[in-house]
Structure 1
Amino acid sequence: MIKTSPVYKKALLSTALAFGLVTSGVGLAANQKNALPEIGVVASSAISLDKEIQIGDVLMRQLRGQAPIINDPLLDEYIQDLGNRLVAQADNVKFPFEFFLLNSADINAFAFFGGHVGVHTGLIYNARNESELASVLAHEVSHVTQRHIARSIAAQQKSSPLQLASALGGILLALANPEAGIAAISAGSAASAQASINYTRQNEKEADSIGIRILAQAGFDPNGASDFFGTLVEKYRLKSRTPAFLLTHPLPESRVADARTRAASYKTGRIAPSLSFHLAKSRILARYYATPEYNINYFETSLERDSYTFKAAAEYGLALAYLADKQNEKAGDLIDSLLQKDPRNLFYLDTYTDVALETGRVQDAIDKLTAQAVLTPRNRVITLNLANALVKNKEFDQAVRLLKDYLLVEPENMLAHQILSDAYAESQNKLEMHQTKAEVYALAASYPRAIDELHSAYNYAGTQNIEKQRIRARIEQFRAFQTRLESL
């Protein structure tokens, strides 16, 4: 796992479903509560697709600076691949989807403007199989493709432009401070609140229906949705604390039955369990949840009792736990054994790299990753691990070339920018270091800090007049972005 120093302290304790926050707080006229606007017609009158993308970009940048987003190439690769399989079966896809993870034990997921879908690690950890996890992602994809936020705004526009402005402000506030955000957008009469709840349920029903179709067409078990709902209801039946997912997704008893009925209309065969899903669960526990001592005991006990779906996933989790406990030799033995059976598995290659770097075998890591990079160029796991290993081996020029090539394809990958900044810092290239740091700050919507970094870069530009002009132009861009942020 690549470790870099965080640019910002994480201030967001939990993130609520952006769609749920909007629709639970804005009022609708009573005679509109059962209306389902035509997709892209009424919605576009409230907010254009271009505007939706702009707002989504702003919200995503703010989340990077405030929320506990995980910059973990392996988990990012897994959740994006899973999400893409679902998006490929969806209609009305207007823009690329970005799936990202937050380090939170809450069982929750949320979608907002521009195709952004956030997933809490607690959702993956508590799902019993990949179809249950995929059912939640399919539901969120449906919220986006049906433009439920824009449709809610369109309906609200007809009753009160002032409340519309309050709702949009509430979205931004809620992402930074959930309790304050909910309070900001919940003001209004009891009648408008009830109308809004009815509209929310209607949207949820629509997202359920479309989500289950997407789920089945993508090759997952369409019963994943009803199974997941049933698991949540049973798990929290006797507990006072309601999970975040149920707070933002109203769950009357009829919803579970409706999901089962819809799933019955699709043919289902045996769905093989997913090794990647169970490897992701093991990684979340070993890397983000418990202590090394607990994890060693947990995975050793699982292996002794044969209480696992995949033995490889339990062994992988144990290797991570050993590595975190500085038992590098034991970790290395397990990973070497796993790689012999599955030499191209990204989870194993990532941990092999970690063990090699910890034990001073940097060149071994570079050799293995380079061979894999030939087979899978620009793969985020291989590329970022290889670049990090090259920096550790003081091969700065090669690391820079690799990262710049990758950033042409993934220009908003914050971890790539951070490793690139480290490469420039280690090679004493202050000009490029400050410019790259500026891009990191900009990705977190911290434009004043980004501009400060560019001023520092300008001072190192010396007589490079063309470079100075480029820096000045980027400063003006960041100032314009800051203005746009304030206007939104």
Structure 2
Amino acid sequence: MHAGTLMISDTPNQVIGVIAHETGHITGGHLARLRSQVSQMKSTAMALQILGLAAAIGGSLAGVPSAGQLGMGAMAGGTDAAMRSFLAYRQTEESSADQAAMTFLNATRQSGRGMIETFDVLADKMRGIQGINPYLMTHPLPQTRISQLRTLVEQSPYYDVKDPPELQYRHDLMRAKLSGFLEKPEASLNRYKGDDTLAATYARAIATYRKSGVTPPCRISMS
């Protein structure tokens, strides 16, 4: 969880969905197995490289240049194959964490709608990127995750549960504070231009203070 995730989340439910997903990784033991997965990938890649090197040397000694070239290709391909196997396993864990997240959300009577909304945002950001190879990513493509999750989310009896107004209010203040302090003042002022909510006023006050370069007489805080 980082500031960028919080900034793109319009509702608390979207943040809750991310937390539920990460909890799925923890309960699934994914983080604990990551080190052994990396070690296994290195061992597999090394074994394939050794076989490729042996083939290259053997071909060279036998006076067969093409065999040597194939051996060198096998060395490079060994690393690539090991990496693809590792990434495929990681994608499986991501899908598993998504499903676990829905289990947790249902158990706590919360909607999974925020997860779909978050993946929609990620999908929009990736549409302009050309040449993405889905087999060379640690996460499934957002559109794939959406199609896998949508049925589970929409079948949940808590699909239409809304965030409490007070929680939404505090969420808006949190995003305003992040915008005011982390974005360029001009970007924050433009983001909340024409907005007369308290959150917008909060963000503009912080951005204006930062733009002025004046040290405030008291600490800016809102909780």
TM-score normalised per structure 1? 0.33
What CA distance in whole angstroms lies between the structure 1 residues aligned with 2:36 and 2:193? 55
In structure 2, list runs of 5 or more residues that go unmatched: 46-75
What's the counterpart of residue 282 of structure 1? 176
What's the counterpart of residue 5 of structure 2? 123
Provide Cα deviations, 1:35-68, integer angstroms capped at 9, x if missing partner.
Answer: xxxxxxxxxxxxxxxxxxxxxxxxxxxxxxxxxx
Q: 1:301 aligned to 2:194? A: yes
What's the counterpart of residue 320 of structure 1? 206
- Kindly state the Cα deviation for residue 320 of structure 1 after the two structures are TM-superposed: 1.7
Provide Cα deviations, 1:335-354, integer angstroms capped at 9, x if missing partner.
Answer: xxxxxxxxxxxxxxxxxxx9
Which amino acid in 2 is paired with 1:237? Answer: R
1:449-468 pair list within 5 angstroms: none
What's the counterpart of residue 458 of structure 1? none
1:428-467 pair list within 5 angstroms: none
The higher relative CO (CA closer than 8 Å, separation ≥ 6) is in 2
What's the counterpart of residue 134 of structure 1? 16
What's the counterpart of residue 373 of structure 1? none
1:151 is aligned, of 19, 33, 36, to 33
What CA distance in whole angstroms lies between the structure 2 residues aligned with 1:152 and 1:295? 38
Q: 1:258 aligned to 2:148? A: yes
Provide Cα deviations, 1:257-307, integer angstroms capped at 9, x if missing partner.
Answer: 11111212321233135112111111111101112x55345434222xxxx
Query: Aligned with 2:192: secondary structure?
Result: helix
What's the counterpart of residue 72 of structure 2? none
In structure 1, list runs of 5 or more residues that go unmatched: 1-118, 165-185, 304-310, 329-353, 359-364, 370-380, 383-488
Is the Cα–Cα contact under 8 Å of residues 180 and 188 in structure 2 kept in the other structure? Answer: yes
What's the counterpart of residue 128 of structure 2? 238
1:11-410 pair list within 5 angstroms: 119-154=1-36, 162=43, 188-240=78-130, 247-251=137-141, 253-268=143-158, 269-272=160-163, 274-291=168-185, 293-303=186-196, 311-326=197-212, 356-357=217-218
- Kindly state the Cα deviation for residue 224 of structure 1 after the two structures are TM-superposed: 1.5
1:356/1:160 Cα in 2 relative to 1: closer, same or farther (>3 Å)? closer
Query: Aligned with 2:194: secondary structure?
Result: helix
- Kindly state the Cα deviation for residue 125 of structure 1 after the two structures are TM-superposed: 1.1
What CA distance in whole angstroms lies between the structure 2 residues aligned with 1:284 and 1:188? 45
What CA distance in whole angstroms lies between the structure 1 residues aligned with 2:204 and 2:137? 35
Is the Cα–Cα contact under 8 Å of residues 156 and 163 in structure 1 kept in the other structure? Answer: no
What CA distance in whole angstroms lies between the structure 2 residues aligned with 1:139 and 1:187? 33
> How many pairs does the alignment contain?
186
Which amino acid in 2 is paired with 1:213? Answer: T
What's the counterpart of residue 49 of structure 2? none
Provide Cα deviations, 1:85-126, integer angstroms capped at 9, x if missing partner.
Answer: xxxxxxxxxxxxxxxxxxxxxxxxxxxxxxxxxx23121111
1:161/1:300 Cα in 2 relative to 1: closer, same or farther (>3 Å)? closer
1:137/1:160 Cα in 2 relative to 1: closer, same or farther (>3 Å)? closer
What CA distance in whole angstroms lies between the structure 2 residues aligned with 1:259 and 1:198? 19
What CA distance in whole angstroms lies between the structure 2 residues aligned with 1:280 and 1:234? 24
Query: Aligned with 2:162: secondary structure?
Result: coil
Is the Cα–Cα contact under 8 Å of residues 213 and 222 in structure 1 kept in the other structure? Answer: no
Identity of aligned residues (%): 22
Is the Cα–Cα contact under 8 Å of residues 223 and 259 in structure 1 kept in the other structure? Answer: no
What CA distance in whole angstroms lies between the structure 2 residues aligned with 1:150 and 1:263? 28
Is the Cα–Cα contact under 8 Å of residues 143 and 207 in structure 1 kept in the other structure? Answer: yes
What's the counterpart of residue 94 of structure 1? none
Is the Cα–Cα contact under 8 Å of residues 20 and 105 in structure 2 kept in the other structure? Answer: yes
- Kindly state the Cα deviation for residue 150 of structure 1 after the two structures are TM-superposed: 2.8
- Kindly state the Cα deviation for residue 202 of structure 1 after the two structures are TM-superposed: 1.6
1:212/1:315 Cα in 2 relative to 1: closer, same or farther (>3 Å)? same
Is the Cα–Cα contact under 8 Å of residues 44 and 82 in structure 2 kept in the other structure? Answer: no
1:283/1:205 Cα in 2 relative to 1: closer, same or farther (>3 Å)? same
Query: Aligned with 1:250: secondary structure?
Result: coil
What CA distance in whole angstroms lies between the structure 2 residues aligned with 1:190 and 1:295? 43
What CA distance in whole angstroms lies between the structure 2 residues aligned with 1:295 and 1:194? 41
What CA distance in whole angstroms lies between the structure 1 residues aligned with 2:37 and 2:172? 42
Query: Aligned with 2:157: secondary structure?
Result: coil
- Kindly state the Cα deviation for residue 197 of structure 1 after the two structures are TM-superposed: 2.6
Which amino acid in 1 is paired with 2:174? Answer: A
Provide Cα deviations, 1:425-471, integer angstroms capped at 9, x if missing partner.
Answer: xxxxxxxxxxxxxxxxxxxxxxxxxxxxxxxxxxxxxxxxxxxxxxx
- Kindly state the Cα deviation for residue 256 of structure 1 after the two structures are TM-superposed: 0.9
